[in-house]
Amino acid sequence: MPERVLVVDDEQSMREFLEIMLTQDGYEVSLASDGKEALKAFRKEEPHLVITDVKMPGMNGLDLIRKIRSSSTFAPIIAITAYASADDAIRAVREGAYDYISKPFQVEDLRIIVRNALEACRLRKENTDLKKIIEDKHGFGEIIGKSARMVEIFNLITRVAPSTAGVLIVGESGTGKELVAKAIHQGSPRADKPFVTINCSAIPESLLESELFGHVKGSFTGAVANKPGLVESAHNGTVFLDEIGEIPLAVQAKLLRFLQEKEYRRVGGNQDRRVDVRVIAATNKNLEKEMEQGLFREDLYYRLNVIRIQIPPLREREKDIPLLLDQFLKKFSRDQGKKIDKVSSLAMRVLCNYSYPGNVRELKNIVERCVTLEQSERLTAETLPSRLVRKSGTDGHLPAVEIPPEGMDLNQALEDVERSLISKAMEITGENRARTARLLGISSRSLRYRRVKLGMEADGDSD
């Protein structure tokens, strides 16, 4: 479908001139002789671009720009001003015009402004659409968050997705690297084409090349027929190479050739094949160290690492834990036909202060377990795994203490309980003292005082 342009000018000769020029350039053109007529046409036809004179009787061009801007986010407006009328040009841009051109103008100058305006409009709309997907919890599965680092990642996805640049996603296991890759694919022009995931660590080294590029009949034992590779099945789409650091050096060389030339050969074949795919890679390894040790090719690294997205571990995204918890709670409650829509304050404290060595994947598994076991309409600390609560002594109950017949030292017993609670809280939070203090409901200064008093910390130790 051709892009639609609305031309607004009270001079018939100018309207007709612009109509001829724009039609020759492949645009669909509609005309209006004044602001009111233009506003009606704009609301009815929803053009992609508006070209309007500023000086017109009745509703002038500035009024028209103002009204269009109040009702439309995307359609750019080009203002036509009188020769050397700088004030009109400035006012038009302030009201929301994309650009202006002064009479008399060169046709080629106007053509360039029109192309630039429409391209800017397309990019802005793509970015806005992608941001809406990002904001939709179901759009990218479990990729949600309001922490500063996640907002940066969302913005980077928005900028990277429409391009064809290679992307390397780096992060610990369970942080959601594949979800980021899918987000990039979904925001790209390839969104309706295949997204093929290849887990390089799950495929035996001897079969990896064949899985990637396919093989011909008889090329090795068991190759009873020609078989296309996964890159071929992703034609016009995206290939996601998960755990790229696990690829052996021999296959790395062939992958590099594929990335450079977009050509490959099936195992045992002698025919070069071409395929159009975008490659996104991910790793939880330090590829720089792998290069130093000779385990990963430097040229392949730089070919993959055009755009780098570093996903933070969940322990560095405290603000996102309640959002993720809410999403998983709704998902598993719905899946299991339960109505668990709240979290007890103690359970929330424990979950927000845990260090999550397994990252988002671990939190997801914890919530699924809790929903399965929970019998009330809120998630309680009693259903949390023992490593989070019961061993920590933070489940709301004092540990059982037997009073011997000969009596006991109450102060010593209380100190033992206090020491146990602090130790388990430190274990939950991965030795993070600020989180430990929050988990126990005390200040960091109070925590330090108690640790010194109990002999758990030297007086000169720093926080």
Tens-place pLDDT, residues 355-386? 899 999 999 999 999 999 998 888 988 888 87
Contact (CB, 8 A) for 353 and 434? no
Distance CA 73, CA 75 (A): 6
Give residue 85's pLDDT: 67
β-sheet bridge partners, residue 239: 196, 279
Once rounded to an integer, what is the mean pLDDT over residues 204-215?
85
Determine the residue type at 121: C
Give residue 125's pLDDT: 73
> Which of 228-237, 397-406, 430-439 shows the lowest mean pLDDT across its residues?
397-406
Question: CA of 413: how far to CAs of 139, 399, 422, 456, in Å?
Answer: 54, 11, 14, 16
Strand 273-274 to strand 263-264: parallel, antiparallel, or no bridges (unpaired)? antiparallel
Give the pTM: 0.59
Q: Is the pLDDT assigned to residue 248 strictly greater than 80?
A: yes
Distance of CA 254 to the CA centre of its chain: 30
335 band by pLDDT with thresholds 50, 70 and 90? very high
Set out the domains of the chain in order of their start, with CATH numbers: 4-123 (3.40.50.2300), 148-312 (3.40.50.300), 316-383 (1.10.8.60), 410-453 (1.10.10)
Determine the residue type at 134: I
Of residues 175 and 216, which shows the higher confidence score? 175
Q: Is the pLDDT assigned to residue 172 strictly greater than 90?
A: yes
Count how many Cα atoms sit within 13 Å of the Cα of residue 197 in the half-sphere of its side chain: 12
Of residues 16 and 425, which shows the higher confidence score? 16
Once rounded to an integer, what is the mean pLDDT over residues 24-42?
92
Contacts of 193 (CB under 8 A, 6+ apart): 234, 235, 236, 237, 238
Determine the residue type at 286: N
Q: Is the pLDDT assigned to residue 397 strictly greater than 50?
A: no
Give residue 16's pLDDT: 93
Strand 28-32 to strand 49-53: parallel, antiparallel, or no bridges (unpaired)? unpaired
